[in-house]
Amino acid sequence: MYRNPTGFQSDFYYVYGAGGHAHVVIDCLRSQGIGVKAIFDDHPERRHPGHLGVRPGIRMTGNGDFPVLEYPVVLCVGRNAERAELVELLEARYGIACHTSAIVAPSAKIGAGTVILHGAIIQPNTVIGRHVLVNTAASIDHDNRIGDFAHISPHVTLCGHVEVGEGTHIGAGAMVIPKVKIGKWSTIGAGTVVLHDIGDHVTAVGNPARILAGSTGQVMPQLQGRPAAGLLR
Ligand SMILES: CC(C)(COP(=O)(O)OP(=O)(O)OC[C@H]1O[C@@H](n2cnc3c(N)ncnc32)[C@H](O)[C@@H]1OP(=O)(O)O)[C@@H](O)C(=O)NCCC(=O)NCCS
């Protein structure tokens, strides 16, 4: 079986989520030779690709019959706050999904549940938290620190020694110059060029980046800090 550069391996995963992002992650797992044991969907009323073969998972507010999971789970939901909420609800072991076309330096550290998609590059001494989404062809250079639940969108360039806080979304094609710190649960617009530090809970756009007046950044998770609900039996 393919041994991914993060050192994590399992023959099968469970996929949580059934939308377009799940489809991409499934392709990513298959590239690693990892089979998908089951796909769970907590929004079965929404349309999802017919061939994914989903079964209902838990609902955010109810006690669904989520089975005991003998394989790692990967959360395939794009909204950062929703991944954080699911982690509060599920007692699961989380696996890393890393496409074979991604390049991850051996000295980089990758947290559980993180997804690294096609063609992404993660350079030496970078530390990536849990349940981060490193999207297609994103470039994360050396000595970066990326917080849990962040999303680094397609074709983002983070230069060396950049910090991105928990839950922050860096929009597609954004560029962050070296040593810049971006706070928690903020949003950086697509194509933004970030030259200076950005705080928590704001949205910044443009070149050079400007904070949108009255912006609050990413939606915060509702269940943050609550004990796990113990839904898995
Ligand atoms: C930043 C963003 C979240 C703002 O969305 P919003 O809160 O709905 O903001 P609005 O569309 O009302 O725009 C507010 C202002 O910001 C400007 N603006 C919005 N996004 C911008 C961007 N990416 N670059 C430059 N200016 C931008 C708008 O022109 C508008 O300016 P004005 O007030 O002078 O007219 C959104 O535009 C964006 O870029 N999202 C990233 C999407 C993405 O990359 N997804 C990746 C998925 S994989």
Q: Give the ligand 1 atom nearest the CA of 174.
A: 44
SS3 label, residue 3: coil
**Residue 71 domain-assigned?**
yes
Residue 5 preceded by cis peptide, ω within 30: no
SS3 label, residue 67: coil
**pLDDT grade, residue 86 (50/70/90)?**
confident
Instruction: Write out residues with Cβ below 6 Å of ligand 1.
Output: 135, 153-154, 171-172, 187, 189-192, 203, 205-206, 212
User: How many A from CA of 189 to the centre of ligand 1?
Assistant: 5
Residue of 23, 99, 131, 142 marked active site = 142
**Residue 107 domain-assigned?**
no
| Domain count for the chain | 1
Mean pLDDT of 218-230: 66
**Residue 57 domain-assigned?**
yes
**Residue 63 domain-assigned?**
yes
**Residue 16 domain-assigned?**
yes
pLDDT, tens digit (0-9, with 9 covering 90-100), for 119-165 = 999 999 999 999 999 999 999 999 999 999 999 999 999 999 999 99
**Residue 45 domain-assigned?**
yes
Is pTM beyond 0.85? Reply is yes
DSSP string across 39-59: EEES-TTS---GGG--EE---
Q: Give the ligand 1 atom nearest the CA of 135.
A: 48
**pLDDT grade, residue 229 (50/70/90)?**
very low
Residue closest by Cα to atom 31 of ligand 1: 212
Positive or negative: CA dihedral 87, 132, 130, 97: positive
**Residue 19 domain-assigned?**
yes
Q: What residue numbers bound the domain in which 48 lies?
A: 12-89
**Residue 201 domain-assigned?**
no
- Answer yes or no: 99 catalytic: no
CATH number, position 85:
3.40.50.20
